[in-house]
Amino acid sequence: MEGGGNEFTGEITLRPLELSDIDDFMVWATDEKVTRFCSWEPYTNKEDAINFINTKVIPHPWFRAICLNGQPIGAISVTKNSGNDKCRGELGYVLGSNYWGRGIATKAVKQVANTIFVEWPHLERLEAIVDVENPGSQRVLEKAGFQREGILRKYMLLKGKTRDLVMFSLLSSDPKS
């Protein structure tokens, strides 16, 4: 969660996540504080995590590890759509809970915003949906310059409950923050 005025001590970079990152991946992926608003449950074993990296991460159109001084501490991704939906992509991110409150996720989101529209010229809208009960993640997007568009009621079924979600967007034509 973002908050406080703490500056992180170190450089934030994004790079592809690899199988060799599995131990770092397990740090955030097994943490139920991190997965609280995710569609998935915390990982309980390395085999499932390896399977996830092989089947979902490596073939993903845009998936990056969020690294602090070169070490993965979270992940950020953008989905790709086709046909008449190709103008939009959905942003998602997770960060190890030890690193919350230092502006790291905001920095990672800004880095994605500064590169994705260049890498994908067909993309005009980067959107993100955040649980109404997750103000920390809402603040990440607001600080990164996203616009709040509205609350989508009972939009998704996550962990057995229908959730109200806030829709945010950043356009390729929006001013850079």
Partner 1 sequence: MEIKLRPYQLSDVDDFMEWACDDQVIRTSRLRYYTSREDALDYLKEVAIPHPWYRAICLEDRPIGFICVKPGSDHQICRGQISYALGSKYWNKGITTVAVKLVISSVFEEFPDMERLEGFVNVEIKASQRVLEKAGFQKEGVLRKYVIVHGKTIDVIMYSCLKTDQTN
Instruction: Tell me the site size for partner 1, rule CB under 8 A.
Output: 25
Q: How far, in Å, CA of 137 to CA of 131, rounded?
A: 8
For the chain, where are the alpha helices, taking DSSP H only? 22-29, 32-35, 46-52, 104-119, 135-143
Asked if residue 38 binds partner 1 (CB under 8 A), the reply is no
**Can you tell me whether residue 131 is helix, strand or coil?**
strand
Q: Which of residues 97-156 bind partner 1 (CB under 8 A)?
A: 124-125, 127, 147, 149-156
Q: How far, in Å, CA of 160 to CA of 51, rounded?
A: 24
Assigned token pair, 176: 């850079």
Q: Least Å distance between CB 162 and partner 1?
A: 5
Q: Rank residues 22 and 171 by Cβ distance to partner 1 and give the closer one.
A: 171
Q: Which of 26, 50, 116, 171 binds partner 1 (CB under 8 A)?
A: 171
Interface with partner 1 (CB under 8 A): 39, 83-88, 124-125, 127, 147, 149-158, 162, 167, 169, 171
